[in-house]
Chain A
């Protein structure tokens, strides 16, 4: 019973973290039309910021500084936003497909830095000993309390994203997305608007990274898998319905539940089949994306509203 509760808690916590990522991507793509395929880079910035700030001091990497999480998380969000400033300033003038390629390249550079700059990130060894909030409550209540915290953060991000979408700023973003020339004629500055949306979305991703690092209690370059982050979050947003914040959250939870369920099914198979099941899952993710694009391009909760 307790094991089942812990398993469910883990899945829901990770679903919440993906929901934060998907909300950030929805601000960028759904609302503003920015094709960011480098969520991984901003997630890494937030994750390493939170990890280094909260971990105990170690010779393996910069710091750690032993801060409490509630002080470190805002800094992690700021780290994602700060990294987005130069990236956005350099690349947001690009067309959608060029931006996609440039952001993938940017995320790869972040991965190289995380792997090679030992003094900063601990290199391949990563940062260990990251404290998880509420650990003192023991099992199973510690993880449950952490899940509630993640849920609270996601609810806050959702409220913020909704408020943004319905504000004059959000309307201006949609105007830039749908007809840049008309927005310009109405006196809007598309470049500045895009940059603000890009930075805000990246802050969401940084916060998601912080929650991820504190949940795992360890963070290293192996956690930076483009398929499981940058690309999976696209599948989630498209499945849920890009443009809709509710869709982003629903897509994240639904796709992650499927991902985790297939993981569980694979674990029931004999060992040699289990590794193949992971590849089969990769195939199904690709196929699911095609089916959604062909059959219901607007996603579960459609409309780029």
Chain B
């Protein structure tokens, strides 16, 4: 039982927390601007490398470099939106999707040019895990879980309690109605990009702390993030976060030895396919997601 918690549930929750943050960012942009942003994964990588620059320059911990990562990612998202997405605002979602794919390639190329292809780490030294009744929780995992919880809380407060958040939700529910009732569309779009980019940078740093930095760091989890967003009902950030947690747990638990003879349900080399499997299942059985997404 303890083995299940230590080696499957806790890693599953940590991965799920990263997916949840990434998926909430994808879902927000989808809700307000109605397109699947394929550059979100590379925004995550960008944030993770920006934190690495901070770690290298000031000798701080990656946690302390998180604000730097956010500060480097938000202007990038604004610039990209202004240069490439804004002129296509009235185009089909398919065109915006392809455009965001081009943006993804450009951001990835910049990361390669600046840091090269070799994997890197933040050099976060070893610290003894927190032990409680045989449950082992790595400190970095504890920070990631707490950080994700805090981010979710802040997102909730923003969307539910502030005027700007309500404007965002109004845009997501009915853009034309929002426009004629005087919601400032430009401001809402800028705010959406800021929140989405901040979530991306946070998810990127957390993922890089848990694994290692590569230029494909974010892109490799982008599909899981989309799967989580669709699972939760696209355009619903809360649903996306829940979807992320479910996917992270499903991915880790898929290699738990449950079959007789100690074989796992799924060979671990196919672990990354779990997200797609769940995605296809959801799309077939309940395409609107757990919570009704937008059409």
Total interface residues on A, CB under 8 Å, equals 38
Q: Which residue of B88, B113, B270, B280 is within 8 Å of A102 (Cβ)?
A: B280
* B269 to chain A: closest residue by CB: A116
Q: Which residue of A35, A96, A97, A102 is within 8 Å of B279 (Cβ)?
A: A102
A93 to B286, CA, bound (A): 12
On whether the beta carbons of A287 and B270 are closer than 8 Å, the reply is no
Main secondary structure of the interface of B (DSSP, over half): helix
Q: How many A-B pairs fall under 8 Å by CB?
A: 115
Which positions 84-139 of chain A face chain B at CB distance < 8 Å? 90-91, 93-94, 96-98, 100-102, 104-106, 108-109, 112, 115-116
| B88 / chain A contacts, CB cutoff of 8 Å | 293-294
On whether the beta carbons of A289 and B102 are closer than 8 Å, the reply is yes
On whether the beta carbons of B273 and A97 are closer than 8 Å, the reply is no
Which segment of A73-81, A210-218, A261-269, A276-284 sits at the interface? A276-284
| B94 / chain A contacts, CB cutoff of 8 Å | 35, 96-97, 100
On whether the beta carbons of A286 and B230 are closer than 8 Å, the reply is no
**In this assembly, does B137 line the interface, its C-beta being within 8 Å of a C-beta of chain A?**
no
**In this assembly, does A285 line the interface, its C-beta being within 8 Å of a C-beta of chain B?**
yes
**In this assembly, does B211 line the interface, its C-beta being within 8 Å of a C-beta of chain A?**
no
A276 to B117, CA, bound (A): 10
Known contacts A279-B109, A286-B103; is A108 also within 8 Å of B273 by CB?
yes
**In this assembly, does A66 line the interface, its C-beta being within 8 Å of a C-beta of chain B?**
no
**In this assembly, does A160 line the interface, its C-beta being within 8 Å of a C-beta of chain B?**
no
Main secondary structure of the interface of A (DSSP, over half): helix
* B93 to chain A: closest residue by CB: A97
Known contacts A100-B36, A105-B223, A293-B102; is A35 also within 8 Å of B267 by CB?
no
A285 to B272, CA, bound (A): 28
| B87 / chain A contacts, CB cutoff of 8 Å | 294
**In this assembly, does A142 line the interface, its C-beta being within 8 Å of a C-beta of chain B?**
no
Where the two chains meet, the residues of A that have a C-beta atom closer than 8 Å to any C-beta of B are: 35, 90-91, 93-94, 96-98, 100-102, 104-106, 108-109, 112, 115-116, 227, 231, 234, 238, 276, 279-283, 285-290, 293-294, 297
Not counting A35-B94, A279-B112, A290-B102, a sample of 14 additional A-B residue pairs whose C-beta atoms are within 8 angstroms of each other reads A91-B280, A98-B230, A101-B279, A102-B276, A104-B223, A105-B276, A108-B273, A238-B98, A276-B112, A281-B109, A283-B113, A289-B98, A290-B106, A294-B87
